[in-house]
Amino acid sequence: MSGPVFVLKCSELEAGKVRKVDINGNLVAVYNLSGTFYATQDGCTHAAASLSEGEIVDDECIACPVHDGTFHIPSGQPMSFPCEVAIRTYKVIEQDGDVLVDLDQEADAAADAI
């Protein structure tokens, strides 16, 4: 890739919501958790499902719409069965009201979880 890519305006995604975006053929789920934005791979690591179609639970987890397993959004770590493999996270940059995602860097919380 080539660094951060614009995905949406901060005002386009309300708090507590998730949206799927396509970044050069990579499907990414972008989340607004109380005004802080995060991005993960959109595909669940357990089953063929789009995480952006799931629900945000416990303020910082995404529940897969197929089997209700959950992942911690900031770190990508699996939180409940049947999810056992972490999802990929991406660095998000908020700049001048825009949300940018860098597919070449993982989120800080994911790096700290290793």
pLDDT tens track for 21-52: 999 999 999 999 999 999 999 999 998 899 99
Give Cβ neighbours of residue 84 (< 8 Å, ≥ 6 apart). Answer: 45, 46, 78
The pLDDT tens digits of the residues spanning 47-106 come to 889 999 999 999 999 999 999 999 999 999 999 999 999 999 999 999 999 999 999 999
State residue 100's pLDDT score.
Answer: 98
In order of their start, the domains of the chain are 5-109 (2.102.10.10)
C-alpha 79, offset from chain centre: 14
Name which of 23, 17, 25, 18 is nearest 100 in CA terms: 23
